[in-house]
């Protein structure tokens, strides 16, 4: 694997993906925009209605455009600055939900919550959502997923011991228990008994109002995958095992952003049919997109994780240990792994779009690509959480 | 909860479910047979082809009809004796697969393997399979699921510590890794590196040849649920926690037979459409059927688990500890829990059949009910593994 060394942004990092753009151009495609650049007015399905809910009467002052430096050599696509009015409104509503309605975080953690910039994140990832409430469905799930990770796995008292029980009981907030009349009430009460379960239960209740049953089933499956991923990572933490690189990549395909991009159609107000979603080619595209997005997290959170107590597994750390590389070499190799996953995602998406030009398929593929780009944008601009290592 | 006391079989235990039979009778239904009594010639979809593969030229001598005593007071339906020729042939092929082809068990464990009676189990559960190879798809998965449980979780060196890693890596034999060219070969090799992964990989390879992509996706989801269930149980084993009854029932909805009845359409050679499968009413029916079947396992394996080292959680044990009941009282209460789940399953299935009389829905519901009955039959007749406690 060549060492890319200190390098300026490659030209490809600021250009749309030509293969995908070529496939999607033309009368039956998504228009002339690159797949990775979301433009709401070009999306053919369904007609995007104006938000029926009134926003704040006076739009708040626009925050300055977000800053942040991309990782040198990383293959990514820039996104248009997300709609600041919508960012502000989602930020306002999600804080009200998380602090007051679902009681996920106590009021004294508001600063930390603000530092997560959920509004900017979700609006950047879902520019084609027909209403603010559609974005909110994604935002609540994102906050709930983070709450489970924070409280059960990581920052706020999590532990690998007993995690299998906590995650399964929380999973029943998404995938309900069907039991006898004597025991069902105890279970129902349990869903209100801690912040992660309150968050899952409330976020899911809103989500299923927008989702079809097959979309809800897809989400449950992706969340079961996520929980399996958490549990594999926890097993390694407990046994102090540093996995082989392929083992780490396998775990990370499960402990993965996947549940976020795969709701792009629900949040967009349409449905990718279940039989198309299940096709091996689509499953591969989704997995590659999730894997690239997740390695982005490993790369941007590298210094944050180094600074936190205990050994935190991420791709550079595993590469350094398993392949006897310096920290810098390992980090740069992890960038290459990411770039290969991104290129493979885009190539496979282009091929699928060409072979299956149904407008819902094209819009879904575009939605996943936009999510990947929005996720990178959020990581890059979230200088409250992340800073880059000094490797260039 | 009244103590049912020593009682003869209630009349309902040997009669078909009248509600379901009523719903399914008539010109648009499944014929005049009760849902729980499978008769291949009455199934409308698809036409059942004769097995294209030649069986043994001379049918082997028929084994004597299986014996076994049902649990007094248990609500269940008897099944017709499974086709002995097919039982023998599945038994022959599955042993060849498990010992020689996938190398799941060493030849010296053949006795133990024979004592599992896979052929009788799977033929009883899938009487409408159009060919022996369709039954084999179910049989391989059943053996593979047991191998993972045996090797990773229980009898043959399993441990709760590190289980999250082992199960996730095995899960990639069902739900493949998509990664870079450098690391993909290591992963592919890993699928041949131990018996559980060889079993999953081979069984899945056969299964996807019969299943549609949505059926394969459904199976993966149910297996992710199963693995989450194993991990919750393992967490309790490790922390020596005896769960509350509702917590146990929640875990057992995941550590559950569910992946077996939900392939009834694949094994039957037809497909329940994904959008019907995902309906909340169908999800409830499936969960209730799986839960009743799984409590049957708790009840029949009670003395086996008591005799094995360590505390093995099952519903009677949890009820005794959490509700301060005698072993006998707890066991009899567990029978009542089972019976309520069975009645609820049948009532909900009848309601769904009435509201959605599509022939595939009716056949699927019948297939699940037949699986539940076949599962009870196998437990009752497997006197090699199971014996009843002395509570009556």
Q: B354-381: b or e for each residue (b if 16 or more CB lie within 10 Å)?
A: eeeeeebbbbbbbbbbbbbbbbbbbbbb
pLDDT cut 90: percent of chain A above it: 73
Å between B248 CA and nearest CA of chain A: 10
In this prediction, residues B144-172 reach a mean pLDDT of 89
Is residue A91 within 8 Å of residue A356, measured between CB atoms?
Answer: no
Give the pLDDT confidence of A88-103 residue by residue, as tens digits.
999 999 999 999 999 9
pLDDT at B48 over 50: no
Q: How far apart are CA A262 and CA A266, in angstroms?
A: 9
Q: How far apart are CA A156 and CA A5, in angstroms?
A: 38
CA distances from A192 to A19, A101, A103, A165 (A): 48, 12, 10, 16
pLDDT of residue B111: 83
Contact B165 A243 (CB under 8 A): yes
Interface test with B, best of A166, A171, A173, A178 (most B CBs within 10 A): A178
A234 interface with B at CB cutoff 8 Å: yes
Identify the CA nearest to A231 among candidates B233, B238, B231.
B231
Is residue B119 within 8 Å of residue B136, measured between CB atoms?
Answer: no
CA distances from A55 to A63, A141, A206, A220 (A): 17, 22, 20, 31
Domain assignments of chain B as residue spans, ordered by start: 81-210, 240-392
Contact B247 A1 (CB under 8 A): no
CA distances from A336 to A16, A292, A315, A316, A340 (A): 19, 11, 11, 11, 6
pLDDT at B252 over 60: yes
Tell me which architecture the domain covering B81-210 has in CATH: Orthogonal Bundle (1.10)
Identify the CA nearest to B235 among candidates A379, A129, A163, A336.
A163
pLDDT of residue B284: 98
In this prediction, residues A12-41 reach a mean pLDDT of 41
Between A110 and B177, the more confident residue is: B177
A and B: number of Cβ contacts within 8 A: 208
Identify the CA nearest to A130 among candidates A203, A208, A50, A207.
A50
Torsion on CA atoms B104, B108, B112, B115, rounded to nearest 10: 100
Å between B387 CA and nearest CA of chain A: 26
pLDDT of residue B17: 53
pLDDT of residue B194: 96
Of A47-56, A142-151, B311-320, which gets the smallest average pLDDT? A47-56
With cut-offs at 50, 70 and 90, classify the pLDDT of residue A7. very low
pLDDT of residue A334: 98
In this prediction, residues B155-177 reach a mean pLDDT of 91
The pair of three-digit structure tokens given for residue B142, joined into one six-digit string: 């059943």
pLDDT of residue A8: 33
pLDDT of residue B19: 52
Query: Regarding the domain delimited by B240-392, which CATH topology (the fold level of the hierarchy) does it fall under?
Result: Farnesyl Diphosphate Synthase (1.10.600)
Is residue B352 within 8 Å of residue B362, measured between CB atoms?
Answer: no
Give the pLDDT confidence of A291-309 residue by residue, as tens digits.
999 999 999 999 998 888 8
The pair of three-digit structure tokens given for residue B241, joined into one six-digit string: 């926690």
pLDDT of residue A308: 85
B167 interface with A at CB cutoff 8 Å: yes
Is residue B353 within 8 Å of residue B20, measured between CB atoms?
Answer: yes
Output A81-84 pairs: Cβ under 8 A, ≥24 positions apart: A82/A120, A82/A123, A82/A124, A82/A127, A82/A374, A83/A123, A83/A127, A84/A59
In this prediction, residues B226-247 reach a mean pLDDT of 97
CA distances from A62 to A38, A55, A67, A82, A88 (A): 21, 14, 14, 11, 8
pLDDT of residue B29: 33
Contact A165 B279 (CB under 8 A): no
Q: Do B81-210 and B240-392 come out as alike in CATH topology?
A: yes
pLDDT at B365 over 90: yes
Give the pLDDT confidence of B30-46 residue by residue, as tens digits.
332 334 333 333 333 44
Is residue B326 within 8 Å of residue B259, measured between CB atoms?
Answer: no
pLDDT of residue A35: 43
pLDDT of residue A17: 53
pLDDT of residue A239: 94
Q: DSSP string of B96-131?
A: IIIIIIS--S-GGGHHHHHTT-HHHHHHHH-TT-SS
Average pLDDT, chain B: 86
pLDDT at B330 over 80: yes
Sign of CA dihedral A102, A104, A108, A110: negative
Is residue B162 within 8 Å of residue B229, measured between CB atoms?
Answer: no
Å between A14 CA and nearest CA of chain B: 23
A236 interface with B at CB cutoff 8 Å: yes
pLDDT of residue B52: 42
A343 interface with B at CB cutoff 8 Å: no
A32 interface with B at CB cutoff 8 Å: no
pLDDT of residue A18: 53
Contact B187 A277 (CB under 8 A): no
The pair of three-digit structure tokens given for residue A45, joined into one six-digit string: 């399905």
Of A19-23, B118-122, B351-355, which gets the smallest average pLDDT? A19-23
Interface test with A, best of B160, B246, B295 (most A CBs within 10 A): B246
Helix intervals (H) in B7-105:
18-24, 84-95
Identify the CA nearest to A40 among candidates A48, A32, A52.
A48
ipTM of the modeled complex: 0.87
pLDDT of residue A383: 84
The pair of three-digit structure tokens given for residue B156, joined into one six-digit string: 């043959």
Q: What is the CA angle A36-A17-A384, rounded to 5?
A: 50
The pair of three-digit structure tokens given for residue A36, joined into one six-digit string: 């990775």
Judged by DSSP in three states, B241 sits in: coil
pLDDT cut 70: percent of chain A above it: 83
Q: How far apart are CA B288 and CA B294, in angstroms?
A: 10
The pair of three-digit structure tokens given for residue A174, joined into one six-digit string: 């998404």
Q: Which positions in chain B touch A167 (Cβ < 8 Å)?
A: 228, 231-232
Length of chain B: 392
Of A186-195, B72-81, B105-114, B119-128, which gets the smallest average pLDDT? B105-114
With cut-offs at 50, 70 and 90, classify the pLDDT of residue B157. low
Judged by DSSP in three states, A106 sits in: coil
Q: How far apart are CA A230 and CA A223, in angstroms?
A: 10
Query: Does the model's pTM come out above 0.80?
Result: yes
Å between A190 CA and nearest CA of chain B: 9
In this prediction, residues A242-254 reach a mean pLDDT of 98
With cut-offs at 50, 70 and 90, classify the pLDDT of residue A251. very high
- Residue B389, sorted as left (phi over 0), alpha (psi -120 to 50) or beta, turns out to be beta
What's the distance, CA A27 to chain centroid? Answer: 31
Of A27-31, A205-209, B124-128, B334-338, which gets the smallest average pLDDT? A27-31
With cut-offs at 50, 70 and 90, classify the pLDDT of residue B310. confident
Q: Can you state the angle between helices B118-125 and B132-148, rounded to 10 degrees? A: 120
pLDDT of residue B153: 85
Helix intervals (H) in A256-386:
264-268, 274-277, 280-300, 302-307, 315-322, 327-355, 359-381
The pair of three-digit structure tokens given for residue A392, joined into one six-digit string: 């260039």
Of A35-44, A320-329, B119-128, B198-207, which gets the smallest average pLDDT? A35-44
């Amino acid at each position: 694997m060549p060492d890319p060394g200190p390098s300026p942004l490659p030209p490809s990092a600021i250009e749309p993906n030509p293969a995908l753009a070529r496939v999607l151009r033309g009368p039956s495609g998504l228009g002339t925009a690159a797949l990775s650049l979301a433009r709401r007015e070009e999306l053919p399905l369904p007609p995007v209605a104006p938000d029926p809910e009134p926003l704040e009467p006076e739009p708040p002052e626009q925050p300055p455009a977000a800053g942040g430096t991309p990782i040198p050599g990383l293959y990514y696509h820039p996104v248009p600055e997300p709609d600041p009015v919508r960012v502000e409104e989602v930020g306002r509503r999600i804080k009200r939900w998380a602090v007051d309605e679902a009681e996920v975080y106590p009021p004294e953690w508001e600063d930390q919550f603000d530092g997560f910039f959920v509004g900017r994140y979700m609006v950047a990832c879902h520019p084609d959502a027909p209403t603010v409430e559609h974005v909110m469905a994604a935002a609540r799930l994102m906050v709930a997923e983070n709450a489970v990770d924070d409280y059960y796995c990581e920052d706020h008292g999590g532990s690998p011991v007993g995690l299998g029980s906590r995650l399964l009981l929380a999973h029943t907030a998404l995938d309900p228990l069907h039991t006898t009349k004597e025991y069902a009430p105890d279970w129902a009460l349990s869903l209100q008994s801690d912040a992660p379960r309150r968050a899952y239960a409330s976020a899911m209740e809103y989500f299923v109002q927008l989702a079809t049953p097959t979309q809800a089933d897809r989400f449950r499956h992706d969340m079961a995958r996520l929980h399996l991923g958490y549990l594999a990572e926890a097993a390694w933490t407990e046994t102090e095992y540093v996995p082989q690189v392929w083992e780490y990549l396998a775990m990370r395909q499960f402990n993965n952003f996947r549940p976020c991009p795969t709701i792009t159609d629900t949040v967009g107000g349409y449905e990718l049919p279940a039989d198309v979603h299940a096709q091996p080619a689509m499953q591969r595209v989704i997995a590659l997109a999730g894997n690239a997005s997740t390695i982005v997290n490993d790369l941007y959170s590298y210094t944050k994780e180094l600074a936190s107590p205990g050994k935190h597994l991420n791709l550079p750390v595993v590469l350094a240990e398993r392949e006897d590389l310096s920290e810098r070499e390992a980090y740069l190799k992890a960038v290459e792994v990411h770039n290969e996953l991104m290129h493979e995602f885009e190539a496979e998406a282009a091929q699928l779009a060409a072979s299956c030009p149904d407008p819902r398929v094209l819009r879904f593929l575009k939605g996943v690509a936009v999510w990947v780009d929005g996720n990178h944008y959020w990581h890059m601009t979230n200088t409250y959480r992340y800073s880059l290592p000094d490797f260039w």
